[in-house]
Amino acid sequence: MSEKKSESAPEKPTSEEPEIPYEAARDELVGIVTRLESGGISLAETMKLWERGEKLADICQTWLDGARARIEAARSEAEDSQA
């Protein structure tokens, strides 16, 4: 799987579900943070982990945004049915 990123335009989350579940992304991100905080790794490995962490954080945010949208839609439907 080849990925090309434009350095001038950040990736924006899409309305599609991310490729991995929220819990898996969160758990992997926790592991990356732990490795980065422990130190003792090369600059190249640090950068690789940081980039993966950024992607995982975006995936988590996409899941959370989707959940928030579903909650707001459900609240709106409930309010409309009570009116």
The predicted pLDDT at position 16 comes to: 67
Every domain of the chain and the residues it spans:
23-79
The predicted pLDDT at position 80 comes to: 85
Which ranges in the chain belong to alpha helices (H)?
22-38, 43-82
Classify each residue of 50-79 as buried b or exposed e, where b means 16 or more C-beta atoms within 10 Å of its C-beta: eeebebbebbbebbeebeeeeeeeeeeeee
- Lookup: tokens for 38: 């422990």
pLDDT digits (tens, 9 = 90+) for 7-52: 333 344 455 677 899 999 999 999 999 999 999 999 999 999 999 9
Residues 6 or more apart whose Cβ sits within 8 Å of residue 21: 63
